[in-house]
Amino acid sequence: MTKTTIISLICVLCVFSAKANNLKTIEQIHIAYKNKTTNAQHVTQAYINRIEKLNPQYNAVINIDPSAIEQAKALDLLYANSKWAGPLHGIPVLLKDNIETKGKLPTTAGSLALKNNITNKDAFVVKKLREAGAIILGKANLSEWANFRSSYSSSGWSAVGGQTHNAHDITRNPCGSSAGSAVAVALNFAPIALGTETDGSITCPASVNGVYAIKPSMGQVSRNGVIPLSSSQDTVGPMAHTLKDALLVLAVLQGEDKKDVSTHEFVLNSKELTAKSTLKIGVLPSDKFTIQTQQLYKKQLNALRQAGHTVTEIVVTDNLDTLFADEYYILLYDFKAEINDYLSNTPKEVKTKSLEALINFNSQNKETEMPYFGQDILTKSQAIDLTNKDKYQRVKTRYRALAKSAITNLYKNNDIDIVIAPTVSPAWKTDLINGDNFKGSSSSLPAIAGSTHIKLPVGKVSNLPVGLSIIANINQEQAAYTYADIIDKTLSLNTKKPE
């Protein structure tokens, strides 16, 4: 090979790499593939290079999958033979590190107790991604044990990955527990990332890092192969740079799985909607959020009114006095039962086989596992009496019915198309000693009811992102997607500007 040929080849590779670094959406990447201005190998390598350069500042990614480039090469070979793998052909995806994958990477939940948890099997959602042509790029950092370890935790901290930092200000918190997933998308470490949510763990990090996200309805997406917190509320959902991409990925992920009973009865309501140019929007109060967030919310509401939408102030009229104590009991109960089951079935290299053993492991490894905060939630979960199944079923029936009723009544009593609210206030300063200090959240009702919650990035206050929540009616996922798109387009034209 001549010197001129080598230089030419280097120039081509530089152009391919530069092109890849400018790509953010699925459509942009696919157009580039079809125009032959780049390929899956170069796109994947460009993301890996970006992670290696920037991740030390942010701790958003724990591991890069060593097979990522080989996955990309296989897809390039497929395309060279005029074949297309599917709707996510050649799209790199990062996974929260509580989602299992085939290969050599452990699935740790952020805990050193699971540093050898190499299950070498794909979670149901990972199988769906691969079938659609996606590239598994690696694992994202998270709040350890999905932020269910300490009442004084700092969101985004894990013993395995350290403290994840907000993508817009490294002194600020990324929110939890899918912190690394949101930060990674915001920094364009990948066009798509998956997070998991029990209550706010997808929507909150997406909000404070300024990306799109969907917390799906219960049963829409399988949790098989995901380290559990609570089967009563756990779900898996996408984060992306656009609502269109998040919806496309969700369409890939959803489906019945024989190993997750929650998916057996779920039916996506495909009823065709009457075309609407204007909406009747119910807006929940914003008084629990910061003053700046309230001010931005008012501007968003004015923009919606000016676009011709009817904006009606609404409030939850149902008595929610028991809701949050009930939720905590259910989560404590579920976690003990389900983490015991999960740990007992981990590979032999994992020595921690129960919640009690995990608590002991953390106590014996205080310097690395508990340098900043403890494990009071784990000990409360361990104290739960799992034989009291009558109480568990009674509480679970009550709290779910109450959350569903509260959402249903918002729609029924106010004659509206869709409910919106601020998602959460801007990111707070990370405090490893005293823990999180967020003000206001809209996640609990849809999390407990098991209904869809969509998060749109809608502006900034003090250069920090603020999100808007779309809270779907029960069994009305398709309507929520359609109306979220209308609201997103309206606000994109009017209010997505720094304050």
**Is there a cis peptide before residue 143, judged by omega within 30 degrees of 0?**
no
Quote the CA–CA distance of 326 and 61 in Å, as a whole number: 34
Contacts 24+ apart (CB under 8 A), 260-266: 260/124, 260/222, 260/223, 260/224, 262/218, 262/219, 262/222, 262/223, 262/231, 263/219, 263/220, 263/221, 263/222, 264/219, 265/219, 266/217, 266/218, 266/219, 266/220
* Residue 177 among the catalytic residues: yes
Contact 281, 313 (CB under 8 A): no
* Sheet with 464-471, edge to edge strand ranges: 61-64, 135-140, 92-96, 192-197, 235-240, 212-215, 453-461, 464-471, 418-422, 280-283, 310-313
The encoded tokens of residue 487 equal: 């609201």
Q: Find the catalytic residue in 111, 143, 153, 177.
A: 177
- Which one from 19, 96, 128, 336 is the annotated catalytic residue? 96
Residues 6+ positions from 422 with CB-CB distance below 8 Å: 286, 289, 293, 294, 297, 440, 442, 466, 467, 468, 469
Query: Among all chains, which residue has been given the structure tokens 């000016």?
Result: 306
For residue 36, indicate whether it is catalytic: no
Sequence-separated (6 or more) residues with CB below 8 Å from residue 384: 329, 332, 333, 336
- Of all helices (H) and strands (E), which one includes residue 131? helix 124-131
Q: Annotated catalytic, 139? A: no
User: Annotated catalytic residue: which of 155, 201, 207, 286?
Assistant: 201
Phi, psi (deg, nearest 5) at residue 295:
-65, -40
> Other C-beta atoms within 10 Å of 262: how many?
21
List the catalytic residues: 96, 177, 201
